A and B are shown apart, each in its own frame.
Chain A
Amino acid sequence: MAITTLIAEAFHSLTKNKIRTALSVLGIVIGVAAVIAMAAVATGAQRKVEREIAAMGDDWLMIGYWGMQRSGVRRQQGTPPNLTREDAEAIQRECPGVRAASPTNRISTQVVSPFGNYQTNLLGAYPNFFDIRRWKCVAGRLFADEEMQLQAKVCCLGQTAARELFGAVNPVGHTIRVNRVAFEVIGLLEPKGTGSDGRDYDDVIIFPFTSFQRLIAGNEPSATIFAAARPGVSLATAREQIRAVLRQRHRLAEDEDDDFRIFDRSVMAQTTAEATRTFNLLLTTIASISLVVGGVGIMNIMLVSVTERTREIGLRMAVGADARHILGQFLCEAVVLCAMGGLIGFAAGWAAAQTVTHKLGWETEISYWMAGLAVAFASAVGLFFGFYPAWRASRLNPIDALRYE
């Protein structure tokens, strides 16, 4: 019996009782739909992160202490390690692969404007910070070396800070107060958006480093150094150079760990990749469980179907079907049933993902090869769980089957 005949017969069988077919395949449909929807959300999130990482710019690195204890291990004098502005300047000077480096310092505090006040992040940085971060302004201008030398009381506002402090009014030319010190707003920065860690990059006011140190935060050592690689230099190369310079400046012995961390886009991408791997593993596990449940449902329904169709099986054997034919027939029905379930599940999952995007605003992404995978997996479930009932059917004795009430 040709495969096409088998499949046609399977379809015919399944359409004979549409309600029962629909109910039996429900488990598979829901399982597949859930997995597809979750995968769509996960892929969408991943794409968003990848885009942000790409949008961040290719070539900057951050040096800092995240997750490290400030008191070092085996320090001779017991002083905490720190990154100074001299470290930043040394990096710029001595690393051939680095085109610019800026120390930065950050606090969060109340800022007062003529229109109200707002708690935001204040950042002190060198003028080359804007170049490192590729951050342009959309109104006014950025501060330069002159303002640094003069410790000028100027600042540049990020979009969110500007909106909170000035509403729809252009802040350039106005004054804000920090700790009762007045600063003139000379520039409004372009939007940078939200980072993958949830931080709003636009919720910031940037001051010249010297002004910040003197008038706002005091002489705290730098929290983070930003550096940019020269065009054509790989991040890995720049990273190694920075590491060498800092280790030497911090007088670290060969066998001592770094007392700082260097972070760049490739690290973020790697972290994301690991998180994605973990999530995909979770997803696969859940998928397996839900498909197993669906498969058990299929097996049950097929067993009932075989029992109900005992006379039919007897008749088929009487007119010439052998065990092989019967096995093939019922197995084919199970596989076709599940394949259809996979397809419908994919469609339902797609619809669910669309709903999530419209109602919750989360990004989702469906790859169409997921449809193939859904159908393939569902079919495999059908093959596996349909086998026992089909085998039972093929073992029936035709005479007993014909007599079955």
Chain B
Amino acid sequence: MPSALIDIRDAWKSYHLGQVEIPAVRGVSLTIDPGQFVAISGASGSGKSTFLHLIGCLDRLDRGSYFFEAQPVENLSVRELAVLRNRRIGFVFQNFNLLARTSIVDNVALPLTYRGVRRRQRRQLAAQALERVGLSDRLSHHPNQLSGGEQQRVAIARALVGDPAVLLADEPTGNLDTATSLEIMRLLQATNREQRLTIVLVTHEPDIAAFAHRQVVFRDGQIIRDTDNGAARR
């Protein structure tokens, strides 16, 4: 049995607003194996986004333990976490977060600059990633010349360019219309299937969540339901 990719045990995370402490994640445990497509859903304020940030090593657990690829994450320094994110984790955000006035090939190549990859090779790898998402004819365009769906595809290419172990998406279809949303979800599904890439996706829309194999539902900082439906919606 291959070891779990993501193994979180009894995670706690609170926010501090002045004097008040607001617990966002309350004693959550979750294991995700390689190749799984997981959707985390729940109402706004349920702690799902905070939990995703913890998985993505953007934030530290207040309490509990987190093993990523069987390595404990709590002891890693800020710098080591950055390296981990760079090499093993890809992010996709609701508002795309592309660099304006920068060509999409340079956008996609960004994570590679933090790895010290040389310019020519960076652009090559970026071009390949863009081809996989079907944008190889728009390499020198800037984000403002692309539609929302195309921008999100660029963001996906950027998340994948470094060959990560897991792709984390925070409401990736939140700013897209229905048709484009379906397009994006199909792309993610295909990536998961063909490249055996683990995907963890946060959404509040049940239609979108249905694309995943596994549904994890959050409420008030805890998981209230974790179902694996095996055959995902086409």
Q: Do A and B bind each other?
A: yes
A286 to B79, CA, bound (A): 43
Q: Which residues of A contact B116 (CB under 8 A)?
A: 1-2
A2 to B113, CA, bound (A): 9
Closest residue of chain A to B56, judged by CB? A318
Closest residue of chain A to B122, judged by CB? A5
Assess the A322–B79 pair: CB atoms within 8 A. yes
Assess the B113–A5 pair: CB atoms within 8 A. yes
Q: Which of B53, B59, B113 contacts A9 (CB 8 A)?
A: B113
Binary CB contact string for chain A from 283 to 320 against chain B (1 if under 8 A, 0 otherwise): 00000000000000000000000000001101111111
Assess the B93–A325 pair: CB atoms within 8 A. no
The answer to whether A376 has its CB under 8 Å from any CB of chain B is no
Assess the B114–A318 pair: CB atoms within 8 A. no
Stretch at the interface among B34-42, B96-104, B216-224: B96-104
Q: Which residues of B contact A398 (CB under 8 A)?
A: 58
Q: Which residues of B contact A324 (CB under 8 A)?
A: 79
The answer to whether B87 has its CB under 8 Å from any CB of chain A is yes
Q: Which residues of A contact B158 (CB under 8 A)?
A: 319
The answer to whether B119 has its CB under 8 Å from any CB of chain A is yes
The answer to whether B86 has its CB under 8 Å from any CB of chain A is yes
A311 to B102, CA, bound (A): 15
Q: Which of B53, B93, B114, B119 contacts A321 (CB 8 A)?
A: B114
A5 to B113, CA, bound (A): 8
Assess the A322–B82 pair: CB atoms within 8 A. yes
A399 to B111, CA, bound (A): 17
A1 to B93, CA, bound (A): 25
Assess the A399–B82 pair: CB atoms within 8 A. no
Q: What's the minimum C-beta distance from A401 to chain B, rounded to whole angstroms? A: 10
Q: Which residues of B contact A12 (CB under 8 A)?
A: 102, 106
The answer to whether B91 has its CB under 8 Å from any CB of chain A is yes
User: Among B58, B79, B111, which residue has the most Cβ atoms of chain A within 10 A?
Assistant: B58
A9 to B114, CA, bound (A): 12
Q: Which residues of B contact A321 (CB under 8 A)?
A: 82, 114
Assess the B119–A320 pair: CB atoms within 8 A. no
A355 to B127, CA, bound (A): 51
A12 to B158, CA, bound (A): 19
The answer to whether A402 has its CB under 8 Å from any CB of chain B is yes
Q: Which of B83, B87, B99, B113 contacts A1 (CB 8 A)?
A: B113
Assess the B102–A320 pair: CB atoms within 8 A. no
Q: Restricting to A176-216, which residues have a CB under 8 Å from any CB of B?
A: none
Q: A319 with B85: in contact, given A1-B116, A398-B58, A402-B93 (CB under 8 Å)?
A: yes
Interface size on B (CB < 8 Å)? Answer: 27
Q: Which residues of A contact B114 (CB under 8 A)?
A: 1, 316, 319-321, 325
A312 to B56, CA, bound (A): 18
The answer to whether A16 has its CB under 8 Å from any CB of chain B is yes
Q: Which residues of B contact A2 (CB under 8 A)?
A: 116
Q: Which residues of B contact A320 (CB under 8 A)?
A: 82-83, 85-87, 111, 114-115
The answer to whether A323 has its CB under 8 Å from any CB of chain B is yes
Q: Which residues of B contact A17 (CB under 8 A)?
A: 101
Closest residue of chain B to A312, judged by CB? B99
The answer to whether B110 has its CB under 8 Å from any CB of chain A is yes
User: Among A16, A315, A324, A325, which residue has the most Cβ atoms of chain B within 10 A?
Assistant: A315
Closest residue of chain B to A6, judged by CB? B113
Assess the A322–B78 pair: CB atoms within 8 A. yes
Assess the B78–A323 pair: CB atoms within 8 A. yes
A2 to B119, CA, bound (A): 11
Q: Restricting to A309-348, which residues have a CB under 8 Å from any CB of B?
A: 311-312, 314-325
Q: Which residues of A contact B85 (CB under 8 A)?
A: 317-320
Q: Which residues of A contact B97 (CB under 8 A)?
A: 311-312, 314-315, 318, 402
Q: Which residues of B contact A325 (CB under 8 A)?
A: 82, 114
Assess the A319–B79 pair: CB atoms within 8 A. no
Q: What's the minimum C-beta distance from A19 to chain B, rounded to whole angstroms? A: 13
Assess the A316–B110 pair: CB atoms within 8 A. yes
Q: What's the minimum C-beta distance from A404 to chain B, rounded to whole angstroms? A: 11
Closest residue of chain A to B88, judged by CB? A320
Q: Which residues of A contact B79 (CB under 8 A)?
A: 322-324
Q: Restricting to A151-174, which residues have a CB under 8 Å from any CB of B?
A: none
Binary CB contact string for chain A from 1 to 31 against chain B (1 if under 8 A, 0 otherwise): 1100100110010001100000000000000
Closest residue of chain A to B159, judged by CB? A319
Q: What's the minimum C-beta distance from A9 to chain B, rounded to whole angstroms? A: 7
A311 to B82, CA, bound (A): 17
Q: A16 with B91: in contact, given A2-B116, A319-B86, A320-B86 (CB under 8 Å)?
A: no
Closest residue of chain A to B98, judged by CB? A315
Q: Which residues of A contact B102 (CB under 8 A)?
A: 12, 16
Q: What's the minimum C-beta distance from B165 to chain A, rounded to whole angstroms? A: 14
Q: What's the minimum C-beta distance from B97 to chain A, rounded to whole angstroms? A: 4
Q: Which residues of A contact B82 (CB under 8 A)?
A: 317, 320-322, 325
A315 to B53, CA, bound (A): 13
Q: Restricting to B42-59, which residues have a CB under 8 Å from any CB of A?
A: 53, 56, 58-59
7 A-B contact pairs sorted by A residue (CB < 8 Å): A1-B114, A5-B119, A16-B102, A317-B82, A318-B58, A320-B85, A320-B87
